[in-house]
Amino acid sequence: MDKLISKDLLGIKNLSIDEINLIFETADKFKEVLQRPIKKVPSLRHMTIANVFFENSTRTKLSFEIAQKRLSADIINFSSSVSSVKKGESLLDTINNILVMKVDMIVMRHPNPGAPHFIAKNINAAVINAGDGTHEHPTQALLDSYTIKEKLGDLKNKKVAIIGDIYHSRVAISNIYALQKLGAKVMLCGPTTLIPKYIHSLGVLIENNIENALKWCDVANVLRLQLERQQNIFFPSLREYSLYFGINKKILQKINKDIIIMHPGPINRGIEINSDVADSSNSLILDQVENGVAVRMAVMYLLSLNKV
């Protein structure tokens, strides 16, 4: 296999193991490019990519943007907060107006699950899902798995606990698919109210006790409490959440086990994770950000091969 089957990357669910491994192998090559004095290749100089963000983003948007610049693509950035969407323009109209300016690829974030899928069906340009509501965030899952693989060599039979706000997390769903496809065992840990009712059907273990989860796992991927999505009250107070589900040095010393700590960011320091853990030598949080650029370069490069 030398290129991706689909013209789009909408989720991990429909990606094959071979495709994931191809993305990882290509990301290895781009990681080497990023170590060079001139960190740029001309591979996408023929392409124009639109970053269409209907929701706030710092890390993902920056990561995509720098990856596009390293690949020599032309970029246009669209943010819904300063656009005609505010005047009532429909999603498809907005995208078609962007495409008519000869755009070849759309990187899209949207608060509604399925929005990138709808767009991908209706346009010829490649679409990359940069997060659709609480559904999927495929490039985050790819870079998470890539980072674990880089650290541990292989994901087969590795135990990964995803801890925190699973209910509102697109990172969790994409991570479950990616990790399981690569042979890892996945446990979800958090308060019952933040774990979706039917998620066990994905073949994951469920745990409500943080200490048990940490004792079980090799890697703890700690998720952010998405307070902006929480219209209902899911737990009594942030203080109580932090007390029962926050990860700090004390609890890690108690279980006395070397665990890799990950977090997709942005971190609520002192709530889901303390600084003494986030900044420790076991933390791969900054490696995730660094690898994100190489993985996104790989995805865009491979999707560009489908456009001959």
Q: Which residues does the annotation mark as catalytic?
A: 59-60, 87, 109, 137
Q: Mapping DSSP to helix (H, G, I), strand (E, B) and coil, where does residue 77 land?
A: strand
Beta strands in 175-229 (DSSP E): 185-189, 205-207, 219-222
| 308 near another protein, rule: CB under 8 A | yes
| 243 near another protein, rule: CB under 8 A | no
Report CA torsion sign: 158, 150, 261, 171.
negative
Q: Which of 23, 7, 2 is nearest to 181 (CA)?
A: 23
| 41 near another protein, rule: CB under 8 A | yes
**Between residues 142 and 252, which has the closer beta carbon with respect to another protein?**
142
- What torsion do the CA atoms of 298, 301, 307, 308 make, to the nearest 10 degrees? -130
**Between residues 12 and 303, which has the closer beta carbon with respect to another protein?**
303
d(CA 45, CA 68): 10
Instruction: Pick the binder of another protein from 25, 89, 93, 240 (CB under 8 A).
Output: 25
d(CA 236, CA 306): 50
For residues 43 to 62, the per-residue mask of contacts with another protein, x marking binding by CB under 8 A and - elsewhere, is x-------------------
**Between residues 2 and 258, which has the closer beta carbon with respect to another protein?**
2
The answer to whether the CB of 175 falls within 8 A of the CB of 233 is no
Instruction: Pick the binder of another protein from 15, 20, 22, 128 (CB under 8 A).
Output: 22
| 258 near another protein, rule: CB under 8 A | no
Cβ 236 to another protein shortest distance, Å: 52
Span from 27-35, 49-57, 180-188, 278-286 in contact with another protein (CB under 8 A): 27-35
| 124 near another protein, rule: CB under 8 A | no
Instruction: Pick the binder of another protein from 16, 29, 183, 209 (CB under 8 A).
Output: 29
d(CA 145, CA 147): 5
Enumerate the H helices of the chain as residue ranges: 17-33, 59-70, 91-99, 115-122, 138-152, 170-181, 210-216, 238-245, 249-255, 275-278, 285-304
Span from 20-28, 119-127, 133-141, 166-174 in contact with another protein (CB under 8 A): 20-28
d(CA 194, CA 112): 19
Instruction: Pick the binder of another protein from 135, 172, 301, 303 (CB under 8 A).
Output: 301
| 5 near another protein, rule: CB under 8 A | no
Interface residue list for another protein (CB under 8 A): 2-3, 22, 25-26, 29, 32-33, 36-38, 40-43, 301-302, 304-305, 307-308
